[in-house]
Structure 1
Amino acid sequence: MDMIHILRTIRQLDRPAVLATIIGVEGHAYRKTGAAMLIPLSGDTVGTVSPGCIESDLLERVPSIWEANRYEIAEYNMDPDDDPIWGEALGCGGVIRVLLEPIEGTLRTILTDALDLLDRGREVQLVRRLKGGKLGYELTVEEVMPLPSGQSSYDWQFSLRLTNRQRVILFGAGPDAVPIYQLLTQSSFQVIVADWRPRLLAAYPGAEHYLGTPEQLKEKLRMSIDDAVIVCSHHLHYDREMIEWSLESKPRYIGVMGSTKRIGMLFNGEVPPVNVKAPIGLSIGAEGPYEIAVSIAAELIALRYQWRNKQKADRQKEERHEPIRNLFGGGTEQPNGQAEAAARAFAGRSARQYGASCFLG
């Protein structure tokens, strides 16, 4: 999930749009809970919530959601025994619940606030709560855990942790680095390309890039412990300089490309530290630039998952409480006082829930 891209698009958005977020999954599904997609009334969508199976149905719902200025919950049952149309079409065998919200008022404000905090290096949690037909929002830095059934006054609560993209410094802009950059960028990493050769950097249009030797890059990049570094310039002297600087900065991961003999030369025959992977990438028998790039991307994705799980465990141990903003309340209520479940529009189409989004007057 790359919510950062969606949030940046929302900040610049000058036309009506609806945010679709997976808030529940039962059984098998292509995307997990929290996956989101921004759907403008006109223009390209940002993000995905399925491999293209339910997008067309979501697109049909968007105009009425925007016009009515209300949220909607759509449910897609992919079990062919329960739902012969969606089940046969998708074949996943699970149930997906998608919350669709117009990007307006309180939601737009709180999403742009979240991006501001992320840009300042903070991690935040966006909490949605439904109560009596009202959808309310809270933005906080603390871990918000749902209360056991029967102990909460809300109809339901959905929490989404928003984090910055993992920064990867890619030192070396040669042809074999291009697929690494492409795969990592598409996998929601923030990739910075660095090299001392302007001609090679020209192959990365639109990328965040820096020109210079490792010594010149120190002040420009200011490496931190949260970074990952890939060393692949194939220049023995500069690669060694980059490794020495990286070891001083102690980033979580340093990946070095090269043969066993070359790696031995880079580390003077010594065993690399535990945060260094040399040679870089998972051992999958990769050959050629693209297969090697796949092994590197897979390794970093796996490590990112481990790091986030550790961060989550660490947060749960903390006792500090630092709320940023609580915007629950002030919403309009449905006439019957609760979210209305509408009948299926036609056989095989998902059930819907409607309600008023929470807006501050």
Structure 2
Amino acid sequence: MRDVLNQLEAWLAEGRQIAVATLVQVHKSAPRQPGAVMAVSDRGEVVGSVSGGCVESALYEEATAVLGGAPPRLLTYGIADDQAFEVGLTCGGTIRVFVERADWAPDLLPRLAEAIRAERPAALVTVTAGPCLGAKLLVTAEESHGTTGSPDLDQALIAEARAMLTMGRTGDRQFGAAGEARGAEVSAFIESFSPPPRMFVFGAIDFASAVVRIGKFLGYKVILCDARPVFATRARFPEADEVVVRWPHEFLEEAEVGPRDAICVLTHDSKFDVPVLLAALKTPAAYIGAMGSRATHERRYRELLEAGASPEELKRISSPIGLDIGGRTPEETAVSIAAEIIALRYGRPGGRLADRPGPIHLDQAPVT
């Protein structure tokens, strides 16, 4: 939804009628994950994608039918048995897509857009099967908007949406018609819109500029920090969301670091590295990486032990930082670091896909 939000708002401002196709389930391999959206206006304009091109033509016809008055529907697409290029997923997966007329958008979309831009967590709930098919709720920690028409079901959906929002998860849930979390009489797709994870980059060096750029490309809110004001400038790091001139460890000790965040220490200077890495180990960050040669890493490892870190704690630090792809330039090194962060997120070893059997994608990717 995020990637089509601006266009949906523009269509609403023009008074356009809109149909929305939302990817709600993925089984095996598929190019996109639940929450991906394709929207069609009553002028035939299209924005977004749910499968990278495999089923968009068929979905366009379904969206046009919904705009013409057909009811919302939950559709399943999978690989074709006989003809690989007929409607289906040629990559071998199966997806389920909910197609609806977005009559809810004038009321709920501006509230959702406001929450996303203010980085306030919000969840969009869509009933995809059951007697209240197509019902929509927008849920935040403080309030909710919309209804299924059943107060008991509303209460159950709101509670589940808030629980999923806390974990930053998106997915299907089943409920009894009266709201019991069983029976599968009602299916609902709950999409969490959590604030973007943050990437903390310490060290205003040339490699940091490339890491900042790739962090932004991956969807992180990127904060660059260095104690040296002559190097930590907005002119040198225009892509960073924030440029902070402070001693790194002092800044990190006060920063709010979450379990989806990444910390990249690029200074390879002990007077900076050791204090900031000790501070990093006290956070729940998903990734902590430190740049430096193997000799630098061994020296830094001993200094961290002497400063009170345990060998078990130090296992959290990826050093030397990045995957072994032979990168030398700042850009190549940034790709190596980004690849390691992605591999760690998905629990993958980071080797060549060509050398590994089994599915390319997990059945369910984590939400970030």
TM-score by length of 1: 0.63
**Contact 1:22–1:36 (CA under 8 A) maintained in structure 2:** yes
* Distance verdict in 2 for CA 1:127–1:181, change over 3 Å: same
Asked whether 1:153 is paired with 2:155, we answer no
SS in 2 for 1:202: coil
Shift of residue 9 of structure 1?
Answer: 6.9
For residues 26 and 256 of structure 2, what CA distance do their matches in structure 1 show?
38
The one of 333, 342, 360 equivalent to 1:301 is 342
Answer yes or no: is 1:255 the counterpart of 2:289: yes
> What residue in structure 2 maps to residue 49 of structure 1?
50
Deviations 1:313-354 (A, max 9, x none): xxxxxxxxxxxxxxxxxxxxxxxxxxxxxxxxxxxxxxxxxx
**Separation (CA, whole Å) in 2 of partners of 1:24 and 1:200:** 44
What residue in structure 2 maps to residue 184 of structure 1?
Answer: 215
| Matching residue within 186, 189, 209 for 2:242 | 209
In structure 2, C-alpha distance between the alignment counterparts of 1:178 and 1:192, rounded to whole Å:
11
Query: Could you give the per-residue CA deviations for residues 77-107 of structure 1, whole angstroms, max 9, x where no partner exists?
Result: 43142776235xx522343332233444368
Contact 2:252 2:276 in 1 (8 A): no
**Greater Cα offset, 271-280 or 121-130:** 121-130
- Cα deviation code 1:215-258 (max 9, x no counterpart): 59729972425332111145554444533443455644321111
> 1:297, 1:9 → 2: CA distance?
29
One-letter amino acid of the structure 2 residue matched with residue 222 of structure 1: A
Instruction: Indicate the larger mover: 252-261 or 31-40.
Output: 31-40
Secondary structure of the residue aligned to 1:255 is strand
One-letter amino acid of the structure 1 residue matched with residue 125 of structure 2: L
Whole-angstrom CA distance in 2 between matches of 1:175 and 1:58:
46
Deviations 1:83-139 (A, max 9, x none): 76235xx52234333223344436851783596389566474735243347311344
The reply to whether residue 246 of structure 1 matches residue 291 of structure 2 is: no
CA apart distance, 1:279: 1.5
Name the SS for the 1:296 alignment partner.
helix
Deviation at 1:164, TM superposition (A): 3.3
Q: 1:33 to 1:63 in 2, by over 3 A?
A: same
For normalisation by structure 2, the TM-score amounts to 0.62
| Pair 1:170 & 2:171 matched | no
Instruction: Describe the shift of the 1:282–1:91 C-alpha distance in structure 2 as closer, same or farther (beyond 3 A).
Output: same
Query: RMSD over aligned Cα, in angstroms?
Result: 4.5
**% same residue:** 25
Matched residues, number: 303
Residue type of the partner of 1:152? A
Give structure 1 regions of 4+ aligned residues with deviation exceeding 6 angstroms: 40-44
Q: Secondary structure at the match of 2:223?
A: strand
Q: 2:135, 2:119 → 1: CA distance? A: 25
Residue 217 to residue 198, structure 1, CA distance change in 2 (3 Å): farther
1:142 to 144, 163, 182: 163
Q: CA deviation at 1:259?
A: 0.8
- Other structure's SS at 1:299 match: helix
Give the AA of the match of 1:31: R
Q: Secondary structure at the match of 2:339?
A: helix
Within 2, Cα distance between the matches of 1:20 and 1:201? 40
Task: Provide the C-alpha distance between the structure 2 equivalents of 1:99 and 1:298, rounded to a whole number of angstroms.
Answer: 32
Further displaced range: 26-35 or 68-77: 68-77
Partner Cα separation in structure 1 for residue 265 and residue 100 of structure 2: 43
Alignment deviations for residues 173-195 of structure 1 (CA, whole Å, 9 cap, x no partner): 43323443343333333322334
Q: Is the 8 A contact 1:197 1:211 kept in 2?
A: no
Cα deviation, residue 169, structure 1: 0.9
Matches within 5 A, 1:22-37: 22-37=23-38
**Secondary structure of the corresponding residue to residue 135 of structure 1:** coil
**Deviation of 1:159 (Å):** 3.6
2:318 paired residue number: 277
Q: Is the 8 A contact 1:73 1:98 kept in 2?
A: yes
What residue number does 2:13 align with?
A: 14
Q: Which residue of 1 aligns with 2:333?
A: 292
For structure 1, which runs of at least 5 residues remain unmatched after alignment?
A: 313-361
The 1:170/1:147 distance shift into structure 2, 3 A limit, reads same
| Structure 2 CA distance for aligned equivalents of residues 9 and 207 of structure 1 | 25
Say if 1:219 and 1:233 are closer, same or farther in 2 by CA, change over 3 A. closer
**Structure 2: runs of 5+ lacking an equivalent:** 140-160, 165-171, 348-361
Q: Distance in 2 between matches of 1:107 and 1:36?
A: 17
Q: What is the distance in 2 between the residues matched to 1:229 and 1:150? A: 41
State whether residues 11 and 112 of structure 1, in contact with CA within 8 Å, keep that contact through their aligned partners in structure 2: no
**Conserved in 2, the CA contact under 8 Å of 1:251 and 1:275?**
no
1: CA distance, partners of 2:60 / 2:188: 25
In the alignment, the residues of structure 1 paired with residue 262 and residue 22 of structure 2 have an alpha-carbon distance, to the nearest angstrom, of 29
